[in-house]
């Protein structure tokens, strides 16, 4: 039995992933943004503990990491939490950062840096990351005109870069990224064409599969897939880590 923490898991793919892992006999801890969502998650997956906190702020993400650590070391952490591509304008958090970057990139960075190091780390990306170009000189969209789809796509590129950076820096951890497909969730929309019943299986496999002990790879439906080449650029990876460190005042452990 593995112990697995899943961010953004009060509904959607995160909850589906937690439910299947629980059915397989693993101990799952879910995460919800607020108490109401936590109650919903607790009802949806009876017996699961739920960590509560808004990871769109640095303080909130730190608090979630602290709560997660109170449960002890996890065997796997699935970074599922995300804001989608439909934001019509640049919405700032209390840290004066774009909400989509804070939630999609800084939250997994903070949790990675502060949580007790697991054996496996899984970062959710998107097929849209292939259309993105790293814009680390303006990662926070302070100079560019806002484009919600581009902003989201860039964060998913950065999530893939983060997964690969961790794989390179922490050789004792299996760190990978995946795309679940464009599926009809609240984020994906009702017209999304991919199979939702396949969308959570790769996360489950990477978190607990005996034959999933690989690192620095990108997957779609349990098959290796070539990512955006920029994701494998080690200089860009290091620059992203630097942006995250400066934004959070939190260094990634050696």
Active site residues: 152, 156
Q: Provide the phi-psi class of 97: left if phi over 0, else alpha when psi is between -120 and 50, else beta.
A: beta
The residue written with tokens 């961790």 in the block is 166
Count of CB atoms situated within 10 Å of the CB of 207: 29
Q: What is the DSSP secondary-structure string of 84-109?
A: -S---S--B-TTSSBHHHIIIIIHHH
Burial of 63 (0-12, 13-18, 19+ CB in 10 A): middle
CA-based nearest residue to 69, from 116, 15, 37, 108: 116
- Sign of the CA dihedral with 6 first, then 9, 12, and 15 last: positive
Q: What is the C-alpha to C-alpha distance for residues 65 and 79, in angstroms, rounded to an integer? A: 12
Q: What is the C-alpha to C-alpha distance for residues 207 and 188, in angstroms, rounded to an integer? A: 23
């Amino acid at each position: 039995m593995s112990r697995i923490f899943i961010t953004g898991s009060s509904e959607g793919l995160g909850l589906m992933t937690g439910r299947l892992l629980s059915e397989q006999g693993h101990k799952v801890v879910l995460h919800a943004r607020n108490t109401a969502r936590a109650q919903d998650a607790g009802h949806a997956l009876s017996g699961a503990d739920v960590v509560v906190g808004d990871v769109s702020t640095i303080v909130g993400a730190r608090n979630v990491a602290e709560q997660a650590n109170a449960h002890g070391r996890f065997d796997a952490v699935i970074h599922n939490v995300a804001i989608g591509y439909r934001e019509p304008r640049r919405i700032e958090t209390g840290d004066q950062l774009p909400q989509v970057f804070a939630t999609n990139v800084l939250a997994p960075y903070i949790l990675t840096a502060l949580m007790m190091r697991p054996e496996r780390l899984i970062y959710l990306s998107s097929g849209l990351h292939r259309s993105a170009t790293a814009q680390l000189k303006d990662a926070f969209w302070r100079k560019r005109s806002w484009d919600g789809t581009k902003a989201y796509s860039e964060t998913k590129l950065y999530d893939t870069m983060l997964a690969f950076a961790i794989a390179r820096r922490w050789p004792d951890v299996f760190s990978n990224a995946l795309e679940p497909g464009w599926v009809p969730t609240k984020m994906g929309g009702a017209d999304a064409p991919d199979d939702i019943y396949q969308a959570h299986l790769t996360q489950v496999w990477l978190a607990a599969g005996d034959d999933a002990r690989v690192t620095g790879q990108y997957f779609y439906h349990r098959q290796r897939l070539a990512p955006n080449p920029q994701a494998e650029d080690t200089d860009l990876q290091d620059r992203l880590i630097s942006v995250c460190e400066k934004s959070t005042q939190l260094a990634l452990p050696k």
